[in-house]
Structure 1
Amino acid sequence: MKQTAAFIDAESVETLNTAAVLDPSSGKAIAQTADCGPDEIDRAVRAARRASRQWRRVAVAERARILRRIAELIKRDEADLARLEALQTGKPLKQARRDAELTARYFDFYASAVETHYGSSIPLNADTMIFTEWEPHGVTAHVIPWNYPMQIFARTIAPALAMGNCCVLKPAEEAPLTAVRLASLAFEAGLPAGALNVVTGYGETAGAALTGHDDIDHISFTGSVEVGRIIAHAAANRVIPATMELGGKSPNIVFADADLERTVPGVINAILQNAGQTCSAGSRLLVHESVHDVMVARIAQAFANVEIGPALNDPALGPLISKTQRGRVMSFVERARSHGAKIVVGGDALNGGVLGDGFFFQPTLIDNVDPYSAIGQEEVFGPVLAVTPFRDIDEAVRLANGTDYGLVAGVWTRDIGTAHRMIREVLAGQVFVNTYGASGGVELPFGGFKRSGYGREKGAEGLRSFAQIKTGVVAL
């Protein structure tokens, strides 16, 4: 079985204890990774602190050159990276290939963005020269989830490095393999030792030691609300900034005049992409009562015919990440059934046959969902779509905003006035009209309202998250 070490100060680091990585398509172990503890975390943070004294002074053009070289190496190894990502996450191979493409795109984008990220001058009066400049935080901690390991690695590491920070990243224990591989490519590209460190292991040990370390200057976290609260407290205790992306319960809102030929595929992809294990998954379908029946019928037919299979077979739908996650999804479906919702199609795990040992769950459509029930309010993180009808635009807005989350929303209508009103009134960080998602959306600021977190990633906002502004005032 493959052994994967942590990557600290440009060296592979093994530990006495290890953590198993499973292939969700088969349930079998495919690797063992280092199980880092406080000693390894401290070593990584100290390495980053040493490197930060040099890296922050490297010219922006040189930092950008190294980021572009990282992108080139990712493109060179794209096929291998995609295969490894598919194996550890269970996502279909074509989705993993797209993730690899976007991973390279993040490094390319931030290489260009940082070259045009300037301070400003403030014309206060004729006797004073005032200017602002952006400086790195220093040592940044990054805790990323298992659903998009490569993409989220890149969207948080690329801007941090671009702005002159040095990084310590803790990937999810379920899917750490591509993070270690990407770190090795970064040093092949010329990144100095210590500028990027990857510490593998469990959240309760490695993650807690990293986010609680006294010499961290900023924390970037993507994951659950429950863990986000713990990490936010750790940041608050040391009075350091943090960026939190904590998931969502995102609606697709379908009005009576929607183009259903366009809407139905968009709604389906929004929930089945990565088996629904996406923070921005369109897990709620709010549909006008006049088109409710036809929408449900079309989606049910499509769900019943979805190709399901192992990741490397490149199906439409792969497995969930783990047996635990599959059980969690099942519990939501069972509670919905017991509270009177109608399971139109799906609703169960796949057992027996060639898929029986993997963590597969049927595409599931649930109608007549009480919007205030658990499945109408909480993030399921599986291929489960909850349907609730509405009568008019006021009710649509009320339902859309009726959860504690506010990450993404989709609006489907031909009426430009309806579209703009929904963009204005729906509480979400991104609102899409007649589409859903942005094929990675590298350039688009991303983050949520309410319990979906705070701070923004992607786009130019992603650079600002990893820097602090300083004002210089000179009397002439």
Structure 2
Amino acid sequence: MAPTLLSTPTSTPALAVKPGTSWSDAWQRCLAVAPEAFDDDRVRNLWAATWQREGRALPATSPVDGSPIAGPPRIDAPTAQQAVRAGLDQHRAWRHVPLPERTARVAATLDALTEHRELLALLLVWEIGKPWRLAQADVDRAIDGVRWYVEGIDPMLAGRVPLAGPVSNIASWNYPMSVLVHAMLVQALAGNAVIAKAPTDGGVACLTLACALAVREGLPVTLVSGSGRELSEPLVAAPEIGCVSFVGGRDTGAGIATAVADLGKRHVLEQEGLNTWGVWDFTDWPALTAVVPKLFDYGKQRCTAYPRFVVQRSLFPDFLAAYLPAVRDVRLGHPLAVEHPDDPLPELDFGPLINAAKARELGDQVADAVDRGAVPLHRGTLSAGRFLPGQDTSAYLAPVTLLAPPPSSPLHHAEPFGPVDTIVLVDTEAELLAAMNASNGALVATLSTDDPAVYARLAPQIRAFKVGHGKPRSRGDREELFGGFGHSWRGAFVGGDLLVRAVTDGPDNGRPPGNFPDYHQMP
């Protein structure tokens, strides 16, 4: 009998960064597109319509794999004050530019952003760890959202005028395009010069490229980097500033809220809150299973993430049967890793957290909560992720789910801003509402219940600006307004014409609809 020939198993090729998507590739493209804004080894600050080399460039690493990338070129408070004064000069000229010309310049900026869409998205991957699909969506939402304003701005500005001074923008790192650049372009469209502080934790190169494209079209944009503590005085309290727009945590937001209240300054302060998903008298478990992986987009590093489930105790077995298989299917890994050069970039739910320090912090909080009595229901491992051979994975954290975090744990009352879910069991509707309102105000919430009457009765008692019925709510854009209750928001609401009203003066006498200490009005 002839010998049997055994085939040699084919090994799976090692993953590698897709050709043309390395940080070096992205940086060289930035130098080619906007040489005025990028040096060989650093980005520049921007004020008085000029790209300035002033500032101490700090070292930075990518959360994706720990490799060196461009860090923010920090300036000091006196230099920032100089930039603010230049911004006021720009504002005084820009506010008199006719609306048709402003509209044309913003539209031209959008065309330029569209032309360089993929480069902007690639910078977001390296700087803040967004998977390719979500990075592209961030860029697209900025462009599409501002186009909506360009096409409908005339009636929004009827009877309204720009503010007396430029708008100062201080935003978190997680949505540089769809939140920060979007707001800046609408503010400029409404007749204001705009000043922005680049987030310390990431996104400076993406913002620099976007601002370079805007300045080329004649928009009055200022972009500076520096520590929040040092730049707070010029960017918040300076008399030249007409409005402060802030997106970030409650601790920093509280200090800004006090400062702007004392000064009587226009403000929009979007702050964190513990967004919750309640489950009561519910049976459509396939619907819940389908939505769970989507709730892990970008590792829950967003203001509208849902890290807390409040579940009717009698439904807990059914909830787990629907939830656990879904959370086990969440995909994470290196956003640019492929097996073959021609492969498309991977479809991931999330990549790294913003940095290794955040991953360690959350890991420590999870360990401490378990030590104090929380029950670990799910602990993912990085071994199931897509990573390069020998890659630095210190900024990555696999999904974790804890039952009943102790009241002493930050995971009980605060937003984790990472892929950690907590579950609280309740027996009565009163307990449900108390648990869903644990953070004294949130941006979004959802209640899953089969009975429309139950939803109609309970939803108004949930302290969130938007409450979904069995579906997640988002920040929204275009015509959809956005705000928050309690400590999750201070100042004017935004979205639709309210974003324009927040940065202009008109018949509302400086008090547009919003969440103010002495004024509560839903538009």
Q: TM-score, normalised by structure 1?
A: 0.89
Q: Give 5+ residue unaligned stretches, structure 1.
A: 120-131
In the alignment, residue 278 of structure 1 is paired with which amino acid? R
For the residue of structure 1 that corresponds to 2:401, the secondary structure is: strand
Larger CA Rg, structure 1 vs 2: 2
**Distance of 1:355 and 1:89 partners within structure 2:** 17
In the alignment, residue 41 of structure 1 is paired with which amino acid? A
Of 59, 72, 79, which residue of structure 1 is paired with 2:98? 59
Structure 1 residues 203 and 279, CA gap change in structure 2 (3 angstroms): same
How far did residue 112 of structure 1 move?
A: 2.9
Of 420, 444, 447, which residue of structure 2 is paired with 1:408? 444
**Contact 2:440–2:463 (CA under 8 A) maintained in structure 1:** no
Matched, 1:251 2:276: yes
Deviations 1:437-471 (A, max 9, x none): 34844432122111102232222211111122258
Match of 1:284 in 2: 308
For the residue of structure 1 that corresponds to 2:336, the secondary structure is: helix
Deviates more, 1:389-398 or 1:450-459: 389-398
State how 1:355-366 maps to structure 2 within 5 Å. 355-366=391-402
Matched, 1:146 2:146: no
How far did residue 16 of structure 1 move?
A: 4.9
Of 341, 347, 353, which residue of structure 2 is paired with 1:320? 353
Match of 1:125 in 2: none
State how 1:250-269 maps to structure 2 within 5 Å. 250-269=275-294
**Contact 2:380–2:399 (CA under 8 A) maintained in structure 1:** yes
How many residue pairs match? The answer is 456
Deviations 1:21-55 (A, max 9, x none): 32101122211332122233123212221111221
Of 420, 434, 444, which residue of structure 2 is paired with 1:384? 420
Deviates more, 1:256-265 or 1:220-229: 256-265
**Distance of 1:137 and 1:416 partners within structure 2:** 48
For the residue of structure 1 that corresponds to 2:70, the secondary structure is: strand
Of 196, 216, 228, which residue of structure 2 is paired with 1:203? 228
Q: Give 5+ residue unaligned stretches, structure 2.
A: 1-39, 338-345, 510-523
Match of 1:86 in 2: 125
State how 1:37-76 maps to structure 2 within 5 Å. 37-76=76-115
**Distance of 2:349 and 2:187 partners within structure 1:** 34
**Distance of 1:445 and 1:372 partners within structure 2:** 35
**Distance of 2:138 and 2:227 partners within structure 1:** 24
How far did residue 259 of structure 1 move?
A: 2.0
For the residue of structure 2 that corresponds to 1:429, the secondary structure is: strand
Whose strand proportion is higher, 1 or 2? 1
**Contact 1:347–1:364 (CA under 8 A) maintained in structure 2:** yes
For the residue of structure 1 that corresponds to 2:278, the secondary structure is: strand
Identity percentage over the alignment?
22
Matched, 1:188 2:216: yes
For the residue of structure 2 that corresponds to 1:4, the secondary structure is: coil
Structure 1 residues 449 and 99, CA gap change in structure 2 (3 angstroms): same
**Distance of 1:372 and 1:449 partners within structure 2:** 24
For the residue of structure 2 that corresponds to 1:145, the secondary structure is: coil
**Distance of 2:157 and 2:56 partners within structure 1:** 46
Matched, 1:469 2:502: no
Deviations 1:398-449 (A, max 9, x none): 2212322321101223322223223322111111222213484443212211
State how 1:56-455 maps to structure 2 within 5 Å. 56-119=95-158, 133-175=160-202, 176-191=204-219, 195-270=220-295, 272-313=296-337, 314=346, 315-346=348-379, 354-370=390-406, 373-438=409-474, 440-454=476-490, 455=492
**Distance of 1:152 and 1:86 partners within structure 2:** 16
Deviates more, 1:413-422 or 1:369-378: 369-378
**Distance of 1:437 and 1:450 partners within structure 2:** 18
How far did residue 273 of structure 1 move?
A: 1.5
**Distance of 2:287 and 2:77 partners within structure 1:** 51
**Contact 1:139–1:218 (CA under 8 A) maintained in structure 2:** yes
Matched, 1:457 2:484: no
Match of 1:126 in 2: none
**Distance of 1:91 and 1:209 partners within structure 2:** 31
**Distance of 2:230 and 2:380 partners within structure 1:** 35
**Distance of 1:301 and 1:393 partners within structure 2:** 28
**Contact 1:13–1:34 (CA under 8 A) maintained in structure 2:** no
Structure 1 residues 333 and 422, CA gap change in structure 2 (3 angstroms): same
**Contact 2:294–2:349 (CA under 8 A) maintained in structure 1:** no
Structure 1 residues 319 and 207, CA gap change in structure 2 (3 angstroms): farther
Structure 1 residues 311 and 207, CA gap change in structure 2 (3 angstroms): farther
**Contact 1:24–1:88 (CA under 8 A) maintained in structure 2:** yes
Deviates more, 1:421-430 or 1:349-358: 349-358
**Distance of 2:230 and 2:272 partners within structure 1:** 23
Deviations 1:382-409 (A, max 9, x none): 1011011223433322221232232110
Of the two structures, which has the highest relative contact order with CA contacts closer than 8 Å and spacing of 6 or more? 1
**Distance of 1:104 and 1:258 partners within structure 2:** 40
Match of 1:128 in 2: none
Q: TM-score, normalised by structure 2?
A: 0.81
**Contact 2:165–2:240 (CA under 8 A) maintained in structure 1:** no
For the residue of structure 2 that corresponds to 1:311, the secondary structure is: coil
In the alignment, residue 466 of structure 1 is paired with which amino acid? V
For the residue of structure 2 that corresponds to 1:417, the secondary structure is: helix
Structure 1 residues 471 and 266, CA gap change in structure 2 (3 angstroms): closer
**Contact 2:169–2:244 (CA under 8 A) maintained in structure 1:** yes
**Distance of 1:221 and 1:267 partners within structure 2:** 29
Deviations 1:266-286 (A, max 9, x none): 24422x121111112101111
**Contact 1:252–1:282 (CA under 8 A) maintained in structure 2:** yes
**Distance of 2:234 and 2:165 partners within structure 1:** 18
Deviates more, 1:289-298 or 1:173-182: 289-298
